[in-house]
Structure formats: C-alpha cells, structure tokens
Amino acid sequence: MFSFFNWRKSPVEKENPNVSKLLNTIGLKTAKAELYLQALRHKSVYESSYENNERLEFLGDSILDSVVAEVLYEKFPQAKEGFLTQIRSRIVSRSSLNKLGFALGLDQLIDAQMSRDVKETSLAGNALEALIGAIYIDKGFTVVNTFIRKKLIEPHIHFDTILSHESDPKSRVIEYAQKKKVRVSFKTSLHQKEEPQSFKSTVVYDGDEIAFAFGPSKKKAEQKAAAEAIGILRKD
C-alpha cells in the first residue's frame, strides 16, 4: 500500500527496527508508527497503560471477534448461532491466537521482560490482538478486515480441521467459558509422588473451584476434571 510514492521511515521506525520489521511483515506503511510500537510493548516493561499494549489489545479483541463472525456468517449461511459461536471460539482461543502470533513472528518482536520462555505465555496472541487494534485506529475497519482475512484466516485457519475436531471435555469447558465471558483455568499438580503417580486437577470457573479429579497424568486429570465441570455447568 502507498508504495507509489517514496515513503520515508519515521523516526520511530528508525529507532525501533522491530517496528520496521513488523510493518514489513504485515505490508503496511504508516504515518503512525508509534501505534505499532505500542502494540509490541508488554506491560512487564511499560507499567503505564498509556504506553503498553493492553488498551490496544482490548480494542483489537472485539474487532477480531467481529471479523471472524462475519467470515463465518458468510461461509456457513445455513448454520445456527450456536455452531457459529463454537467455531469462532476455536479460532480466537488463546492457543489459536498464540499460533497466529507466532506465524507472524510477533514473539521475536515483542518488547517484554519475562523469565519464562515467551513461547509458553500468551504474549504473542495478546500482541496480535493489540496489532489488530493498532491497524484499526491507523487505517480503519476495511483495512483491518482485509488484514484479518488475508494474513490470518486464509493462510492459517484450516476449517476442515476445526470442523472435524471432536471436542474434548477441556476444550468444551473453555469454549463454554468464552461464550459466557467468564475466566476459567485448570490448577493441576502432582498429587502422589510415589508410584503409581497421580495428579490432581481443579477447575477454577469465575474464581470458584467447581470441580476436581485425579488421574495418572496431568492431561488425564484435567480431562476428567473438565468432564466433571461440564456436568455442573450444564445444570446452571
């Protein structure tokens, strides 16, 4: 875009090569490079919400939801709302957003101070949402809509896989919580050290411990706890 005239790099881009790389990756030229700089700033480095990417993430999150909603609305003209909601929650799940963030190489560009491996955190997915917010403010809805379709959904979202994915209890609990806009997490730890080892997993839904279960592995304990949780959540 705008390549028809000789675009000069802004001071922000010159001083921040990561912003330059990001703009290259997404194929945009901008007069508001500071927005993209902000999108890459994690709160671990920039305390003030005015400087870190959390506000842009807030904005980008719902814009991504809107565009994915529209894509699904068009793609599945006969589908019911429940189906559309379920498919969307898979596309915008934390793990899916992280993968998309990695696919764009955001993990290499983020300005964060973290002891843990960045791959294990949600930094890349969060930065992706912030980037969507930045593009929206900079270029408007039509451009961000095209970005989400062409750079994220078309190359990286495989509908066949998503549709064929028989959802396991843990995914279903996460989907349910997303739909209700409630936080859910799994607290899982070693319960018995001696052989046979066992793990305990507790489902924390909206701050409450609603179910727990034991299993021979972390994964199995979580799936069993999730199955318990589904039974409880359904009664609501």
Per CB under 8 A, residues contacting a copy of itself are: 49-50, 54-55, 57-59, 61-63, 65-66, 69-70, 73, 77-81, 84-85, 89, 136, 141-142, 145, 181, 196, 202, 207, 209, 216, 220
Say whether 117 is catalytic: no
Please report how close the Cβ of residue 210 comes to a copy of itself at its closest, in angstroms: 12
CA dihedral 99, 153, 57, 226 (to 10 degrees): -60
**Cα–Cα distance, 200 to 227 (Å, whole number):** 14
Q: Which of 61, 111, 175, 228 is catalytic?
A: 61
Compare residues 20 and 132 and give the one whose CB is closer to a copy of itself: 132
Please report how close the Cβ of residue 110 comes to a copy of itself at its closest, in angstroms: 17
Compare residues 20 and 68 and give the one whose CB is closer to a copy of itself: 68
> Which DSSP letter does residue 165 get?
-
Compare residues 20 and 177 and give the one whose CB is closer to a copy of itself: 177
Q: What is the 3-state secondary structure (H, E, C) of 4-15?
A: CCCCCCCHHHHH
Say whether 160 is catalytic: no
DSSP string computed for 3-55: TTS-PPPPHHHHH-HHHHHHHHHHT---S-HHHHHHHTB-TTT--STTTSSHH
Q: Which of 13, 34, 111, 129 is catalytic?
A: 129
Cα dihedral sign, 47-112-12-133? negative
Closest C-alpha among 153, 172, 151 to residue 226:
172
Please report how close the Cβ of residue 24 comes to a copy of itself at its closest, in angstroms: 27
* Cβ contact 232:211 at 8 Å: yes
Please report how close the Cβ of residue 114 comes to a copy of itself at its closest, in angstroms: 18
Compare residues 25 and 85 and give the one whose CB is closer to a copy of itself: 85
**Cα–Cα distance, 168 to 187 (Å, whole number):** 18
Q: Which are the catalytic amino acids?
A: 61, 129
